């Protein structure tokens, strides 16, 4: 097929006949390629392959490039004197180059693909939770170190974040909990009316907002409003390399960026929870007064007589824990931003979803625990 002693292949034009001579092999590939570039504009009518001294797949591919795949697929017709082995090689290479072979895709198994997807999601969740636990540990370590050094407290940043994350959220928290309180009272009255027990609507509203709805609604609102803001702010700083600049100045990003936001959340969420409790009970009270003929005095008397203080403490005690989780998740997702605007948007969405999911999950676990403890 190929002779190592034959001279390098040549391309010549003789009275309209294209003469292909010499060895067309890998050893002479570069020289042949250069000739092809010089002879791309040749005008020929016939091709003579009788002088072909050597041929391999590298040379055959160059001949396909020179003569065309369709012509070489019919090489047996216009070059019958060419050895059959070389004819077969030229036909095969021409056919492959004209219609490149595409690997057949493996057979799809829906159940296998679904199991693989579930496994990938579980592994991603496990890695994410490990990273969250590590970030929580780093945050607590930095917090303890700063508590012992009051001169390193960022009071100005803390007050600024309290204003941004908390005070600006008071109207929306109060309005939402007020409306939900009215809805809970209305639905409770609708059900309890069939049993002649509409008076217990007061207990329903009080229990719901003191234990669950007050803290839960405030936490969900802050998860959507504030966790996303934390992620976007830190993510933008990461994209602009401002965090690297902070480290270059010898400052700790955890101390400078995370702790003020974390402490602001832990200060403001209990306050918003208390406001949410009052607004929700007020919404339920208005429904009781105007629709159930329960006077305001009677409503307050039932609250004082039948609702123990521990329900208020249970609801308020969840607030710092929820605030800690929301702030940590929002800041962590900000640090995970890779640098593009798309990454900022993806991690902002992820922080909101994770925060709301963790708040509801933790609230469900706490509800089961308190129920078993009888609190």
Same domain, yes or no: 142 and 254:
yes
* 84 and 27, same domain (yes or no): yes
Confirm whether 222 is domain-assigned.
Answer: yes
d(CA 311, CA 212): 9
**16: in domain:** yes
Do 183 and 46 reside in the same domain of the chain?
A: no
Chosen domain end from 73, 98, 123: 98
pLDDT of residue 176: 92
Check residue 281 and give its pLDDT: 92
Domain match, 93 and 142 both = no
Residue 175 lies in a domain: yes
- What is the structure's pLDDT at 179? 93
Around 338, how many Cα atoms within 13 Å sit in the side-chain half-sphere? Answer: 5
Do 240 and 357 lie in one domain? The reply is yes
Give the chain's domain count. Answer: 2
Among the three residues 98, 130, 162, which one is the final residue of a domain in this structure? 98
154 and 85 in one domain? Answer: no
Specify whether 17 is located in the same domain as 163. no
Global pTM? 0.67
Provide the total of helices (H) and of strands (E) in the chain, helices listed first.
17, 3
* Distance between CA atoms of residues 329 and 318, nearest Å: 17
Residue 92 lies in a domain: yes
Q: Are both 173 and 289 inside the same structural domain?
A: yes
Query: Does one domain contain both 200 and 296?
Result: yes
Confidence (pLDDT) at 295: 85
CA-to-CA dists, residue 324 to 14, 136, 168, 233, 367, angstroms: 87, 9, 19, 18, 18
Contact 262, 230 (CB under 8 A): no
Domain identity same for 221 and 333: yes
What does the DSSP 8-state code read for residue 18?
E
- Please tell me the number of Cα atoms within 13 Å of 225 on its side-chain side: 20
β-pairing verdict for 17-24 and 10-14: antiparallel
pLDDT of residue 2: 47
Judge whether 4 lies within some domain: no
Task: Tell me, rounded to whole angstroms, the distance of Cα 134 from its chain centroid.
Answer: 19
Q: 113 lies in a domain?
A: no
Q: In the prediction, which pLDDT does 41 show?
A: 62
**Statement to judge: residues 94 and 143 lie in one domain:** no
Of the three residues 98, 122, 156, the one that is the final residue of a domain is 98
Strand arrangement, sheet containing 46-55: 10-14, 17-24, 46-55
Mean pLDDT in each 10-residue stretch from start to end of the chain (375 residues)?
60 71 77 74 68 77 75 74 77 74 62 85 88 89 84 82 82 92 89 83 89 90 88 86 85 86 90 92 90 86 86 90 92 84 84 90 89 80
Is 130 inside any structural domain?
no
Backbone angles phi, psi at 29, to 5 degrees: -60, -45
pLDDT at 177: 92
Could you tell me the residue range of the domain that residue 21 belongs to?
10-98
Q: Is residue 172 situated within a structural domain? A: yes
Clarify whether residues 227 and 145 are in a common domain: yes
Please give the helix or strand (H or E) that residue 334 lies within, else none: helix 309-335
């Amino acid at each position: 097929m190929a002779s190592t002693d034959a001279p390098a292949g040549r391309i010549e034009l003789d009275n309209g006949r294209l003469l292909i001579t010499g060895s067309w092999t890998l050893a002479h590939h570069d020289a042949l390629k250069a000739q092809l570039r010089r002879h791309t504009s040749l005008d020929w009518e016939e091709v003579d392959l009788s002088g072909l001294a050597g041929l391999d797949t590298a040379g055959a591919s160059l001949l396909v490039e020179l003569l065309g795949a369709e012509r070489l697929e019919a090489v047996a017709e216009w070059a019958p004197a060419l050895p059959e082995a070389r004819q077969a090689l030229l036909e095969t290479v021409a056919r492959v180059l004209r219609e490149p072979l595409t690997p057949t895709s493996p057979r799809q198994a829906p159940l296998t693909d679904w199991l693989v997807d579930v496994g990938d999601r579980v592994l991603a969740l496990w890695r994410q939770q490990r990273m969250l636990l590590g970030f929580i540990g780093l945050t607590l370590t930095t917090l303890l170190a700063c508590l012992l050094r009051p001169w390193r407290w960022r009071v100005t940043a803390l007050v600024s974040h309290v204003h941004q994350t908390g005070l600006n959220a008071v109207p929306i928290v109060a309005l939402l909990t007020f409306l939900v309180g009215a809805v809970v009272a209305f639905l409770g009255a609708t059900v309890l009316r069939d049993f002649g027990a509409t008076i217990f609507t007061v207990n329903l509203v009080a229990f719901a907002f003191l234990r669950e709805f007050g803290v839960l609604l405030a936490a969900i609102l802050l998860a959507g409003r504030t966790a996303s803001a934390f992620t976007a702010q830190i993510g933008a700083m990461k994209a602009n390399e401002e965090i690297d600049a902070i480290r270059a100045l010898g400052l700790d990003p955890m101390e400078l960026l995370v702790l003020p936001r974390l402490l602001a959340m832990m200060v403001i969420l209990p306050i918003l929870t208390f406001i949410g409790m009052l607004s929700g009970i007020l919404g339920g009270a208005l429904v009781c007064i105007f629709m159930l003929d329960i006077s305001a005095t009677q409503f307050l008397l039932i609250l004082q007589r039948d609702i123990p203080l521990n329900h208020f403490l249970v609801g308020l005690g969840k607030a710092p824990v929820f605030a800690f989780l929301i702030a940590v998740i929002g800041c962590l997702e900000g640090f995970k931003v890779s640098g593009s605007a798309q990454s900022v948007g993806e991690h902002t969405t992820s922080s909101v979803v994770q925060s709301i999911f963790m708040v509801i999950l933790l609230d469900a676990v706490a509800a089961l625990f308190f129920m078993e403890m009888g609190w």
